[in-house]
Structure 1
């Protein structure tokens, strides 16, 4: 295990008081044998390291996540923060390194209408030692994990996002980014970097992205809402955006095909809202 590992929680109580099954607490599990006690102490030690838990503002109360019909806030935290759910092997539903999870959350369509959307996703999961082997490469990817603040994202942009260009104004966006959204923004920048680096064009002549990317509505484009002063001093529309939150968090950008780059103009709330 990495010496920098932390246990980021969605519960306010300490680990021994967690209920890990019906009428079955973590302290009962720890008291079953010496191995469990040792592992329980390790988890308690990790829980003492910052960040102690996901901030309340980092979770969307209108979103629902469930695995085999069992709801869990940890699934939302894992999805938003590109993490891994850790559980105890208390049943066959928790024996896989990837958990099938149903996500139900409100999403704003291209027409601005908010609808409740359902999606089946798979989240990293570990309840057995051999599950860690499945995620070994991800666990060892320490470089990106160290980009734990908006300032670090800005300062590491050339190294970690060589196919992305940033307008100078984005520095302020990132340095002032709420800590709860650093990992979701980082996750979407990584996916955009990967898509632009690959530069794969589909049959419709569109770049193939690795996360949902939306074209701004004509009315907002014509209204100049997504206009920014570009690097060459010209005003241009940055009408593509990805969403790093289920709500109004946006990364606005435009493609620069001649150099195969994406140029980012805004990281923050919905423009004009």
Structure 2
């Protein structure tokens, strides 16, 4: 799934001006909301204590911040779940009691949990040390020797981290890997389409096509859609076409009649642009939507008419 987020408690309760604390919390929450938008099935923020009990800075609480931000951000934040304590997100029966993580001479519980759970540590941008997409931690693991003695093995580890939305660019390939892991069947492609392909739109007829997709075509079709999504994202709409990352061609005049489908508004339109995926004859038929800087998908599957 899209990486879950772990609040770095060391970045909280800083001594600073309330206006600065409010600005920092707003930036962090916008980052969290952006991650929630990528994961349509719910993003949670794991914390050592419930957010309602959080002190953002000395003398400035989360509740006070929430009362000062605009309604739109409050409503968007409602889609984000917070979990506390951190152990609430560990696998059933697992405590990770043999691990401790330290940063700057202090235990780093949130960042450590992010490392253990292959997640993303997030911090309030209130100190220069949190202005980095990677945070180095000291990990101390207690292990039992063959003789039954316990010894401490210290290691240095890096944890993924963000305190600003711009840090997400550093983790983009990793985020995409988590999204790709969602896809096992054609039905998975349909279920997670908004998170996987934010610049693609799909006609309702595509659902049945994806659910019936042959197993050998699932991964190639998902890769083809990903390529089209990347082209749409980078599209300079002052130009008639995006820069394609794969072979895209229109159908010939004699075959265009096969490419007419009922569009989202009920009108029949031609979706003759198509990309190919193997094993042949896999096709994705679509048309361009310049006003949305998007590509609208009408067909995923076998070559039309074959």
Q: Could you tell me the TM-score, scaled by structure 1's length?
A: 0.46
Bigger relative CO (Cα 8 Å, ≥ 6 apart): 2
Q: Could you tell me the TM-score, scaled by structure 2's length?
A: 0.41
Task: Compare CA radii of gyration and give the structure with the larger one.
Answer: 2
